[in-house]
A and B are shown apart, each in its own frame.
Chain A
Amino acid sequence: MSCSFFDTKPESKPDWKAYVLRELGQDAHRQAEAHLATCSICHEEVATLRLTLDTLSTLREEEMPRRIAFVSDKVFEPRWWQRVFSPTFAAGALVAAAILIHGLVGTGRTSQDQVDAAVTKAVSQMEARHVQEIQAMYEQLDVRNKQVANMYHNAVLSR
């Protein structure tokens, strides 16, 4: 069933969806309201739209599994002694030591393959230490995330 008033001039029929969504301009909104006051058919159409929006508004807002937070880069900047004992520095020192020992003790006939092997070994050791450090860092972050989530949860419960 449609409104007989707008059957004769459909171009002037108000945009009811825009009306309930508060997207009509002031003049158009006033005209729409004036028509609604006199037309039961359009009134029902608008009522159904509003009911749909009301039903949609019952959708629960979900809590986040955990909060999002960023940490300043400065926290992760190592101190000078950490730099000295960092895996990268240690691996570099190992490579340098390997080359030096070969230079001092070696027969002078060290092949390129031996140098490459020493470098590969040092790099793999460095990478292994990196992996261990990153894993430890992730574990620490995970623990901190859980602590923050618990604090947040408790704070919500205590409200």
Chain B
Amino acid sequence: MIFREVEDPDLIAKARRGDVEAYNLLVSRWEKRVFNYLLRLVSNREDAMDVSQDVFLKAYQSLPKLDDPARFSGWLFRIAHNEAFSLLRRKRPEAELAGEPRPADLNPRLLPIELSLAVETALGRLSPDQREAVLLKVYQGFKFEEMAEILECPVSTVKSRLYTALDLLKATLAPMHKTALRGES
């Protein structure tokens, strides 16, 4: 169990009063999660870094509008979602020129790093909406209702995107599943 002397809502209250150091501490708690979420969405480290900075700047400027500090994480990821999709919309022609991502080379005997890369490639095959649903649920642990708030859509849409994505991932990663099962038996 991780004991925190100061909880996020305390830091938010201090940051709202202009305490920049309190905000920096809050940023340090969330920046890696936000960066990784953005990295998987925009697929570029520099873009993810730039957008992360924009997200935390916008969050700082909008802190007075945050109604419930206990819901900071969902609110923060809502800003991150908006910024990421704004970038994706601006870069769409470039992305279309780049074409479809290459299929993953799913060698049945993968090292952990290769497995990680295979998962990354499989995620890259999903549509941005589907990928984001997986990121928010599997990697960020949000509940369906929280995801619906972040994405501003009904829970049914969240489930539809996530379930379709899981079916596609299951099919893509199936060769590894079989190998893993054979390895266990």
Where the two chains meet, the residues of A that have a C-beta atom closer than 8 Å to any C-beta of B are: 17-18, 21, 23, 48-49, 51-53, 55-73
How many Cβ-Cβ contacts under 8 Å join chain A to chain B? 83
Is A52 a contact of B45 with CB atoms below 8 Å? no
Is A52 a contact of B123 with CB atoms below 8 Å? no
Q: Is the interface of A mostly helix, strand, loop or mixed?
A: loop
> Max chain B CB contacts within 10 Å: which of A21, A52, A57, A60?
A52
Where the two chains meet, the residues of B that have a C-beta atom closer than 8 Å to any C-beta of A are: 20-21, 23-24, 27-28, 31-32, 35-36, 39, 45-46, 49, 52-53, 56-57, 60, 112-113, 115-116, 119-120, 123, 134, 137-139, 143-144, 159, 162-163, 166, 169-170, 173, 176-177, 180-181
Is A56 a contact of B134 with CB atoms below 8 Å? yes
> Max chain B CB contacts within 10 Å: which of A17, A58, A71?
A58
Give the shortest distance, in Å, between B31 (CB) and chain A (any CB).
5
Other CB < 8 Å A-B pairs besides A55-B176, A56-B134, A56-B169, 6 of them?
Answer: A17-B162, A64-B31, A64-B49, A68-B31, A68-B52, A70-B23
Please name the residue on chain B nearest to A52 by beta carbon: B170
Give the shortest distance, in Å, between B37 (CB) and chain A (any CB).
11
Cβ contacts under 8 Å, B181 to chain A: 51
